[in-house]
Amino acid sequence: MIKNTQVLLAKRPRGEATDDCFEIRELEIPELADNQILIRVCWLSLDPYMRGRMNDVKSYADPLQIGDVITGESTGIVIKSTSADFSEGDPVAAHMGWQSHIVANADDPRLMKVDLNNGSLSAHLGVVGMPGRTAYFGLTEVGKPQPGETLVVAAASGAVGSAVGQIAKIKGLRAVGIAGGAEKCRYVKEELKFDACIDYKAGNLAAELAEACPDGIDIYFENVGGDVTKAVAPLLNPRARVPICGYVSNYNDEDITASETPFHILKSLDTVPEHRFFVVTEWRDRWVEATRQLGSWIGDGRLKYRESIGEGLENAPKYFRGMLKGKNFGKQLIKVADAD
């Protein structure tokens, strides 16, 4: 009999999420009720927002409770169905946590059919999935880009940041990336065709950023916070916009409620830029539109991506910690099973 492997929250982290914060459990898979499907998970997405959900603090989404399956999105294949809307073999995405198999009601809003014409199963967790849609809507709807403007994006080699910069180029902007290490910066500039990329680890971030942005910064797409935001802030133009996707540099703080966030830094400026935190679910009714557009840009070579793959659901905590420290290169995924 097939069993479902789940990764649960065993205790709340204080700082980094160590191995004892996670518990692995195996369960028998129940028989399907009417209008249900069973998914064999092939790919699991690891994303920075998951760390915030482990804290017992008020946020845009309810925190995980002890014993809950760790939140997250996966893609896989339907292997059983009692629904007229799904057949065995259908590729799907499900935002139902870290587990090897998923029993879902066919009308669950956390389910989404996958059109492989837009990209692979793994790409639907990255460039044409939630990170790609986050980049698309965050830039176009919150950043409100205009041709000729200068955009700066931190974590520029990551799943969201790499898409932000490339979409900015498609829209006629000048794109400047910030990334950690010479190899990531080379990739961003030479492969993704950003106009510049600055290595924040080299120790000259403020000076190099000023040199790369002689006309100031019109849009700063916030992914990191901390010292990166402090280097960007003095260069923001009077009508600058700052879409705040996240601030990963603070996510392992022992008490994030006491942290200096991008909101504190931006509000301390003499001219406070237009800025707000956003989540991709604000545009849920347009997700298919975004995925098709992103897939089209991949098809014509204007949007490139890279994946960082770990093997095995049991290793997800290790790769999750590494991702929060920037050890991944591109979208961090866990391969859980083959699609065949």
- Burial of 195 by CB count in 10 Å (0-12 exposed, 13-18 middle, 19+ buried)? middle
Write down the pLDDT at residue 20.
95
Any domain includes 296: no
**Which residue in 166, 179, 244, 181 sits closest to 212, CA to CA?**
179
Same domain for 322 and 248: no
In which order are the strands placed within the sheet that holds 150-154? Answer: 196-199, 174-179, 150-154, 217-221, 236-244, 274-277
Q: State how far Cα 26 lies from the chain centre.
A: 28
Any domain includes 87: yes
Same domain for 115 and 157: no
Q: Which residues contact 49 (CB under 8 A, 6 or more apart)?
A: 246
Any domain includes 24: yes
Same domain for 240 and 144: yes
Any domain includes 68: yes
Give the tens place of pLDDT for each residue, 199-237. Answer: 999 989 999 999 999 999 999 999 989 999 999 999 999
- Give the number of domains in the chain: 2
∠ CA(229), CA(232), CA(236), 5° rounding? 125
Helix, strand, coil shares of the chain, percent, nearest 5, are: 35, 25, 40
Write down the pLDDT at residue 62.
86
Any domain includes 301: no
Same domain for 157 and 59: no
* pTM for the predicted model, two decimal places: 0.89
Pairing between strand 196-199 and 174-179? parallel
Same domain for 178 and 77: no
Write down the pLDDT at residue 57.
81
Same domain for 23 and 112: yes
Q: Which residues contact 183 (CB under 8 A, 6 or more apart)?
A: 329
Cβ–Cβ under 8 Å, residues 216 and 237: yes
Q: What single letter denotes the amino acid at residue 325?
A: K
Same domain for 26 and 85: yes
CATH number where 167 lies: 3.40.50.720
Same domain for 330 and 234: no
**Which residue in 201, 151, 171, 204 sits closest to 327, CA to CA?**
201
Any domain includes 340: no
Same domain for 241 and 152: yes
Same domain for 18 and 45: yes
Any domain includes 165: yes
* Span between the terminal Cα atoms of the chain, in Å: 18
User: CA-to-CA distance for 220 and 225, rounded, in angstroms?
Assistant: 11
Any domain includes 224: yes
Write down the pLDDT at residue 253.
62
How many of the other CB atoms lie within 10 Å of CB of 256?
A: 16
Write down the pLDDT at residue 52.
86
Q: Which residues contact 281 (CB under 8 A, 6 or more apart)?
A: none
Strands (E), 186-261: 196-199, 217-221, 236-244
- Residue 264 belongs to what domain range? 130-281
CATH number where 36 lies: 3.90.180.10
Same domain for 109 and 12: yes
Write down the pLDDT at residue 260.
86
Write down the pLDDT at residue 261.
86
Same domain for 117 and 27: yes
Q: Which residues of the chain have pLDDT under 70?
A: 249, 251-258
Strand, coil or helix: 42: strand
